[in-house]
Amino acid sequence: MKVKISEWITTFAFCAFLAVMSVLFILLPKQEMSETEKRNLEKAPEFSWENLSSGKLGADIESYMADHIPGRDFFVGVHSYTELLTGRQVTKDIYLAQGDRLVERPLRWNEQTEKNIKAVSDLATTLGQPVELMIVPSAGWAVRDSITGLSDEYLDEQLIEKLYGLAGEGVTTRDLVSVFGAYENPEQLYYRTDHHWTSLGAYTAYKAYMEMLGQPYTAREDFTVQTVQDFKGTTHSRAALWLIDGEPLEMWTGSESVTVRFGKSEEVHNKVFFENRLQELDKYTVFLDGNHDLVTLENPDAPVDETLLVIRDSYSNCLGPFLAQTYKKVVLVDLRYFSDAVADYCKLNRVDRVVVLYSLSNFMTDTNFGRLYATQNIQNLATKLYNAEELEEISNFEGTYYALSGKYPIQCSKTLGGSYRVSYLGEDRVAVLWFNSEGEKLSGKVYVTTCTLDDLSQLQIGDSMEKVKQIHPDACFSINMKDNGRIRSEHYTSDGFLVTIYYDQNTIAEITTELL
Amino acid sequence: MLFSSNVFLFAFLPSILLIYYICPRKLRNPVLLLWSLVFYGWGEPVYLFLMIATILLNYFFGAWIHIRMSTNRSAKLILGIGVAANLLILGFFKYAGFFVTQLKAVLPFMAAVKVPEISLPIGISFYVFQSMSYIIDVYRNDAPVQRNVLTFGTYVTLFPQLIAGPIVRYADVALQMDNRKENISKFSSGVHRFIIGMAKKVLLANPMGSLWNLLQVQEGTLAAWVGIAAYTLQIYFDFSGYSDMAIGLGRMFGFEFLENFNYPYISKTITEFWRRWHISLSTWFKEYVYIPLGGNRKGLPRQILNLLVVWGLTGFWHGASWNFLLWGLYYAVLLIIEKLFLLKVLKKLPAVVGHIYSMVLVLFGWALFFFEDLSALGAFFVQLFKPAAISGHCGNIILAYLPMLALSIFAATPAAKVIGEKYGDKPVVRYVKLAAMAFLMVLCVAALVSQSYNPFIYFRF
């Protein structure tokens, strides 16, 4: 039988495709970071007999190949468009709206929201001072009538109304929904390719808020606007619809005398826009240098000599400089990174006005509101008890902080000197994992919690190691090489504390206690 | 290793094709054996030892049976021991945990015994059945003994069908093991078949699986019906897609495997369904269990018993859990009822009745198959039959997947094949097909690569 030309072509094309892909995979230089995903790509797996025999090597090679396959972005885009064109958008996280707008899917009420609003009410009670609450509706809500294809309903108005209804007496709610709703083109208040509000959006909120308070504000004309082109934000990354172009990002400069300090550092920056950040993957960090636990803005030329404390998410990276047009001192607190209790901070520092200002999405999902009025431990934070098997699995979890959170929602997370400690509670044990600031896993282990803080508090400096072992036979002893080989023992207590004891020649030299 | 993975497509497959075709014919089987072992050991290298032991064991029993028979002595006992040894391997690795758990429930003195934690060696149900077919075929003189242990190893481990079938009986490929012809026509038809199979798995089965996952947590009658329909489609495309890929890959290396699926969802009766679904497994049980038990030759009561045994085993072969047994027996009962009278009744009714009857029973069957927990199964059936509205969100999910559902249902019928045949073997049709294959291939790779696309959302606050 004669071989047909089409058969030759099929054979050749198939083999050529496989060959080209594999040769390019081998030859092309490997990227370290994915620009679109804003994460580190897998590194080349290391060979070891242990990895090989456990099958881990095989899995690692697959992830490595998947991350570095030639034309990866192209293929990812093809898949996103396939899903969009076959109508599956409504089941995805990002919706496409008219005018190439990419917005997050609608939010639904959840338990965390109720906890968070209660935490804000409790803060007002603890402070004995009114607390203001202003929630920003989502970008999807602003374009709810122009979503392409099917869409679940955007209930931002109802959700915010319900939230405000639950706020305690000491909370003054500030309505931004009607301000944004009344705006002629509400979509201009948000980016097309990012979930944040634009500078115009932040300015509109600033102006409305100052009007509500009866305070002066800087007129729009008095700002000089600098524009950067081709900003592609988070929703662009997540949707992977690459045919959608970037957009301009505006920096509005008002008073030149605003200074910025980050965290507890004394270093003063004479700028609010960090243009070096524009070279980075996430250009939104140009506003106040991205996320910091504590940002202090000071403006000696501002008309109102008061301190405004804003408990906030990243929307205020853009809003903060506007507020500093009016207030001499504006303090921005990010609960995800701020490890002290905010109520304590307010008492120690003179604060005239406290406002909780969040995007609806973050307010409904942030799990760090416990840090408002008192630092909370795992016993208060955890809503779920895991069994021993699950804890073992969690502690062996291989992946990023984010991936872990996707599988086992993170309820108890503490920031300690640039790394995160995440804990999961069980009946008589806890799983504790460490992540670095990049969100990469450092270690994980399950500890048995058979003693309480009370049991351990009888220990004193100078007591013997034997006594510790008697009180807590399950304690985990280790030698810390970084600390001159000092022996230490870690005790995770059943009431949510971590007690670390350091020894010197088998006697206790130091005891530290912290919340888990 | 999975066919639908980057490692397989862009490292394993190109390298085996290259090495296979530059090797002289003599070395081709050993090369296939070696790469099949790499393929098998990729995820769980420990079980390579089990694989090699299985090969040696059956090679040895095949030879022993052959020697006894060629000297006119009975090999029945040896066959018995060989089969028992295979069943022991399967029993230990697949069913030990299940049986210990069951015994503990009824026997108080077993309480102290620990349930063995054995992870199931991938593909064991398939390759043990294949190995058994070899010694039985040799015993029955259906196939010659294989003298070369490497060639025999190649047969057992042949990577295209190693993990999920089809179960290739030794008699069917005995000749191909030593004498097969690779050529361009075969290779190109293999490429077609492989791409079709991968498209079934990646472009249809996976979305149907996502739909089923989304709907499982939704309430309402419609959610249950659409959900189980999606699962029904998922399991078909997953399994038949895998078989297609296996058949296609086989052709690329010159093998011809028998078909494993023949559009099962167009059946008008359950009897027909089982002639079209997982044909290699039904054939295996028919050849090696049903007929040796006497089949239909020993009277109706015996035939009914035989059917119950065969289908109980078929069910149990799918997994060590009660629901699989129940699923098998469910089909036994249906088949018996059809044999007794229903087939005749159905024949007289319009075809559409038969289609609906079969499809509904198959849907229920997959529900039995899916829910390992019997109380969850009960709850699911309540949801199927208790009228309840679905939420707006659930309605949106279903609407969103309508195009994929329609496409999947279309692909589960021979419609495309019929249309293709109508236009005959004209060059233009061939090039349209070629373009379609290239398109499907790109979509498949896109879907595969996308699985690893994971924007780090922590930065988004």
Q: Which residue of A has its CA nearest to B186?
A: A7
| Greater pLDDT, A123 or B461 | A123
Q: What SS3 state is found at A285?
A: helix
pLDDT attached to residue A176: 93
Pairwise pLDDT comparison (A183 vs B174), residue with the higher score: A183
Q: Pick the residue with more confidence: B113 or B83?
A: B83
Question: Which phi and psi (to 5°) does residue B325 adopt?
Answer: -65, -45
**Partner residue facing B184 (CB), from A3, A291, A439:** A3
The predicted structure's pLDDT at residue A328: 92
CB atoms within 10 A of CB A492: 26
Query: What is the pLDDT, as a whole number, of residue A358?
Result: 94
User: Residue A40: closest CA among chain B residues belongs to which residue?
Assistant: B456
- What the block records as the tokens of A253 is 């400069």
Residue A491 distance to chain B (closest CA, Å)? 30
Return the H-helix or E-strand segment holding B7: helix B6-7
Report the residue from A6, A18, A150 with minimal CB separation from B399: A150
pLDDT at A480 over 80: no
3-state secondary structure of A438: coil
Contact across the interface for A11 and B43, Cβ inside 8 Å: no
Mean pLDDT, residues B67-81: 85
Q: Give the minimum alpha-carbon distance from A5 to chain B in angstroms, rounded to a whole number.
A: 9
Could B403 and A87 be called an inter-chain contact, meaning their C-beta atoms sit closer than 8 Å?
Answer: yes
Among all residues of B, which ones are annotated catalytic? 318
More confident residue, B228 or A49: B228
Neighbours of A448 (CB within 10 A): 18
Residue B461 above 50 pLDDT?
A: no
Show the tokens assigned to A209.
């808020």
Lowest mean pLDDT among A14-18, A444-448, B133-137: A444-448
Whether omega for the bond prior to residue B166 falls within 30 degrees of 0, making it cis, is: yes
Looking at residue B460, its pLDDT comes to 36
Distance CA A502, CA A480 (A): 10
Is A33 an interface residue toward B (CB < 8 Å)?
no
Number of CB pairs < 8 Å for A and B? 179
What stretch of H or E contains B27?
Answer: helix B25-41
Q: Tokens representing A159?
A: 């959700």
Q: Is A513 helix (H, G, I), strand (E, B) or coil?
A: strand
Say which residue, A38 or B415, is predicted with more confidence.
Answer: B415
Residue pLDDT, tens place only, A214-237: 999 999 999 999 999 889 888 888
Hey, what are B331's tokens? 């089909």
By the 10 Å C-beta count (0-12 exposed, 13-18 middle, 19+ buried), B12 is classed as buried
Task: Give B397's contacts in chain A (Cβ within 8 Å).
Answer: 90-91
pLDDT at A148 over 90: no
| Cα–Cα distance for residue pair A383/A371, rounded to 1 Å | 16
Alpha-carbon distance of A162 to B364, in angstroms, equals 43
Closest CA to B433 of B419, B415, B447: B419
Model confidence over A73-100: pLDDT tens digits?
899 999 999 988 888 888 888 899 998 9
| Euclidean distance between CA atoms B433 and B420, whole angstroms | 9
Q: Take residue B177 and report the two structure tokens written for it.
A: 């093991």
Residues of B in contact with A335 (CB under 8 A): none
- Chain B contact for A392 (CB, 8 A cutoff): no
DSSP state of A190: B
A411-415, B96-100, B192-196, B407-411: which range is least confident on average? Answer: A411-415
Residue B456 clears pLDDT 70, i.e. is over it: no
ipTM of the complex as predicted: 0.86
pTM: 0.79
- The single-letter code of the amino acid at A241 is L
Cβ–Cβ contacts within 10 Å for residue A389, how many? Answer: 9
Say if residues A358 and A315 touch (Cβ distance below 8 Å). Answer: yes
Position A373 confidence tier, pLDDT thresholds 50, 70, 90: low
Provide the b/e sequence for A212-250 (b: ≥16 CB within 10 Å). ebeeebbeeeebeeeebeebbbbbbbbbbbbebebbebe
Tell me: pLDDT of A420 over 60: yes
CA distances from B211 to A295, B219, B224, B233, B350 (A): 45, 14, 11, 11, 32
Handedness of CA A55, A57, A63, A66 (dihedral sign): negative
Confidence band of B459 (pLDDT split at 50, 70, 90): very low
B184 contacts on A by Cβ (under 8 Å): 3, 7-8, 11
Report the percentage of chain B scoring pLDDT > 70: 98
Query: What's the pLDDT score for residue B359?
Result: 94
> Helices then strands (H, E): number in chain A?
18, 21
Name the band, by pLDDT with cuts 50, 70 and 90, for residue A3. confident
Q: At residue B42, does pLDDT exceed 90?
A: no
Q: Could you tell me if A269 and A109 are in contact, meaning their C-beta atoms sit under 8 angstroms apart?
A: no
Of B256, B245, B252, which Cα lies nearest the Cα of B177? B256
Q: What are the tens digits of pLDDT across the range A301-344?
A: 999 999 999 999 989 999 999 999 999 999 999 888 776 677 77
Do residues A332 and A316 make contact, with C-beta atoms less than 8 angstroms apart? yes
Cβ of B44 within 8 Å of Cβ of A55? The answer is: yes
pLDDT level of residue A18 (50, 70, 90 thresholds) = very high
